[in-house]
Amino acid sequence: MNDTTETLSVDTADMPPDPTLTAAPTAMKNARETPEEAGPGVIETKNMDVFYGDFKAVADVSMNFAFNEISALIGPSGCGKSTVLRSLNRMNDLIPTARTDGEVLYHGANIYAPGVDPVEIRRRIGMVFQKPNPFPKSIFDNIAWGAKINGFKGSKADMKDLVEGALRQAALWDEVKDKLNESGLSLSGGQQQRLCIARAVATQPDVILMDEPCSALDPIATLRIEELMLELKENYSIIIVTHNMQQAARVSDRTAFFNVELDTKGQRTGYLVEFSPTDQLFTSPKEKATEDYITGRFG
Amino acid sequence: MATGSDIQDVSMEEQLERKRRPLDTFIVGSLFIAGAISIAITLGILWELGSESLLFFTDEVVSIGSFFTSTEWSPQAGSFGIWPLILGTLLITFIALLVAVPVGLSAAIYLSEYASARVRNFFKPVLEILVGIPTVVFGFFALTFMTPLLRSIFGSTVGFFNVLSAGMVVGLLIVPLISSLAEDAMAAVPNSLRQASYGLGASRLETSLRVVVPAALSGIAAGIVVAMSRAVGETMVVTLAAGASPRNFSLGEDSLFGYILSPFEGAQTMTGYIAITASGDISYDTIDYNSIFAIGLTLFLMTLGLNSLSRRIVKRFRQEYE
Ligand SMILES: Nc1ncnc2c1ncn2[C@@H]1O[C@H](COP(=O)(O)OP(=O)(O)OP(=O)(O)O)[C@@H](O)[C@H]1O
Ligand SMILES: [Mg+2]
């Protein structure tokens, strides 16, 4: 909710083109089909525009997010990555001025159709935020809470199993199993973020959205979260916003590059440049703008 | 900024020397004096209360022991047991909280979690106006509106002076205090927690009641304690609406849930007694006159205790987020 626009230069200035990244052989990952060939995905946007009041933040986004893949959204600051992500589970509803036009299809159903309950959407499409935000409750309750409000009816023992399972999936169990009653806030930043992922996993969503989940973490904690994402994708579809192109290259199957342009009225409206299999986007981008961005020649 | 070139002849030690800032000194000094004055006033009040109370307690008619244990307050008959007055105060405070906590908290939750900016901008000044109404107006409201209303509901068991009417109106009086302190506490809950909750598929009500309120609980509790000490100290409403007869009781004979706690009868409070006695025509240096200082001291200690309790609660609240 409090996204602020940073200066454009921040993204790329300290990120020299990574040779392993740009020169990666295409064979490193199985070449994926383009989304069109893959058939309808778990989430599809069709000509989606998002406004904040009169300001059009992103225009005409049409994307198809495949099942059980990790899709990465990259692009310069202010191009609308977070805006797009929040539109996918109606978190934008919490911003009074925000409005979404066009369609967002979840399993083929338009989540912006009248009569759709945003709460139901968010139960199926969970979210992990940039800054770890555990509740000021115990580690156990942090995870149990989401399950409870999602109608968990099992016994106490079932709840224990659920909490343990979620913590194991988030690769946090061994570190916290002896202190489940301590506050979630007593953990380190990286542990807190894994707790937040465990919390999201415990509600058994279908899709997990992550907005720069590693930006507050050190490289080691970052790698752990990346490993975690790769494991989670067996069961979930994941969409991640990242400023770190190496991260997109390491974890994602498909990458979307967004850019931002001044329109005739002087508004800075973001748009989708291309959405391709990750190895392809980083080695042979279709668009000049993508190439400029990933090689650091942007702006 | 001094750059080396233009002041080469001044040594570095001199450049780094602490500068005099007379304006800063003056302002800091005035602030200190203002702070010192308020502390001095508090100490002065305490001194006055203490020394006059001493006169009271050293009188041969009363003993400290009976003051704090006797359940009869009849100055004319020479019995000075403070419990009937404390009972009156606590009864009214309790009734006031019964009214004010649910209403104030609901208002706070509504304003902080539901209301649009427009609604909030309308309601907050209205609540502040409520704070500004003189309490004597509330007192007459209790006497001329609330009491007749209660009598039309419960019949003539409701006395003309009764603690229910006084307590409910004191409750109305402290609603704005609770709602604004609770709203502040809830507004201080980081938005990221609300987002986390919504992101897990919680509804607005679940988010408000099960994330925001618990996270703000210590702040809310502290607000309630502050409101409580305000209710304990409230004078005008209780003097007008609860009557001037101390509710003398005897633990063995009167039933606890009958006469002792009856909401329909009047009761004098500590503040009520002080107000009436101080404004009546009794002369200095009588034992009646001195008794109000002993009561005042008790009242002071009670509210001091409540305020330090709320401080302690707030302190815990701060630690929770670190
Ligand atoms: N709550 C809001 N109200 C109004 N405008 C907003 C709001 N959130 C974002 N915007 C605007 O929408 C545009 C896109 O913002 P968004 O946060 O989606 O960018 P982003 O790509 O996520 O940037 P970053 O990489 O810095 O996080 C920006 O111009 C921003 O100022
Ligand atoms: Mg963002």
Handedness of CA B81, B87, B90, B96 (dihedral sign): negative
Of A55-59, A170-174, B253-257, which range is least confident? B253-257
pLDDT value at residue A23? 38
Compute the average pLDDT of residues A229-256: 93
B135 with B173: CB under 8 angstroms?
yes
pLDDT value at residue A99? 94
Among A58, A61, A82, the mutation site with the greatest number of ligand 1 atoms within 8 A of its Cβ is: A82
Q: Which of A128, A135, A149 sits opposite B193 (nearest CB)?
A: A135
Which chain B residues touch A if contact means CB-CB below 8 Å? 116-117, 190-203, 206, 210-211, 214-215, 320-322
With 70 as the cut, is the pLDDT of residue A185 above it?
yes
With 80 as the cut, is the pLDDT of residue A76 above it?
yes
Q: How far is the C-alpha of B107 from the C-alpha of B120, rounded, in Å?
A: 10
Are residues A96 and B116, on separate chains, in Cβ contact within 8 Å? yes
DSSP state of B248: -
pLDDT value at residue A17? 43
Find, in chain B, the residue whose alpha carbon is nearest to that of A95.
B195
Compute the average pLDDT of residues A127-152: 91
Task: Choose, out of A149, A185, A208, the residue to mutate when testing the contact with B (most B CBs < 10 Å).
Answer: A149
pLDDT value at residue B11? 86
Task: Choose, out of B114, B200, B319, the residue to mutate when testing the contact with A (most A CBs < 10 Å).
Answer: B200
pLDDT value at residue B26? 93
pLDDT value at residue A9? 37
pLDDT value at residue A274? 94
Find the residues whose C-beta lies inside 6 A of ligand 1. Answer: A 3, 5-6, 52, 57, 77-83, 95, 97, 268, 270
Give alpha helix (H) positions in chain B: 12-16, 22-57, 64-69, 83-109, 117-132, 135-141, 147-154, 163-187, 191-199, 204-207, 213-215, 217-233, 236-241, 270-279, 287-321
pLDDT: which is higher, B268 or A217: B268
| One-character DSSP codes across B185-235 | HHHTS-HHHHHHHHHTT--HHHHIIIIIHHHTHHHHHHHHHHHHHHHHH--
What whole-number percentage of chain A has pLDDT above 70?
A: 86
Q: Which of A138, A207, A199 is nearest to A163 (CA)?
A: A199
Burial class (CB in 10 A: 0-12, 13-18, 19+), A23: exposed
Identify the CATH class of A12-294. alpha beta
Q: How far is the C-alpha of A78 from the C-alpha of A71, rounded, in Å?
A: 19
Q: Which of B194, B200, B203 sits opposite A146 (nearest CB)?
A: B200
Banded pLDDT at A166 (limits 50, 70, 90): very high
pLDDT value at residue B204? 92
pTM of the model: 0.80
Q: Which of A94, A136, A150 sits opposite B320 (nearest CB)?
A: A136
With 90 as the cut, is the pLDDT of residue A171 above it?
no
Are residues A133 and B192, on separate chains, in Cβ contact within 8 Å? yes
**B94 CA from centroid of ligand 2 (Å):** 50
**Residues A11-33 pLDDT 10s:** 334 444 444 444 333 333 344 44
- Looking at beta carbons, which residues of chain A come within 8 Å of B209? none
Please name which ligand lies nearest the alpha carbon of A270: 1
Are residues A129 and B320, on separate chains, in Cβ contact within 8 Å? no
Of A18-22, A31-35, A78-82, A262-266, which range is least confident? A18-22
- Looking at beta carbons, which residues of chain B come within 8 Å of A123? 200-201
- Looking at beta carbons, which residues of chain B come within 8 Å of A198? none
Q: How far is B290 from chain A (nearest CA, A)?
A: 51
Are residues B200 and A150, on separate chains, in Cβ contact within 8 Å? yes
Domains of chain B, each with CATH number or no CATH: 92-265+299-317 (1.10.3720.10)
DSSP state of B302: H
Banded pLDDT at A41 (limits 50, 70, 90): confident
**A241 CA from centroid of ligand 1 (Å):** 13
pLDDT value at residue A249? 93
B93 with B299: CB under 8 angstroms?
no
Nearest 5°: CA angle at A41, between A36 and A42?
165
Q: How far is the C-alpha of A102 from the C-alpha of A84, rounded, in Å?
A: 12
Residue where the block lists tokens 């959205």? A209
Residue where the block lists tokens 């427009």? B118
**Residues A85-131 pLDDT 10s:** 999 999 999 898 999 999 999 999 999 999 999 999 999 999 999 89
pLDDT in tens, chain B (322 residues): 445 455 567 888 888 888 888 899 999 999 999 999 999 999 999 999 999 888 888 887 788 888 888 888 988 888 889 999 999 999 999 999 999 999 999 999 999 999 988 998 898 888 888 888 999 999 999 999 999 999 999 988 888 999 999 999 999 999 999 999 999 999 999 999 999 999 999 999 999 999 999 999 888 998 999 999 999 999 999 999 998 889 888 888 888 888 888 889 889 999 999 998 888 777 777 888 888 899 999 999 998 998 898 888 877 766 555 4
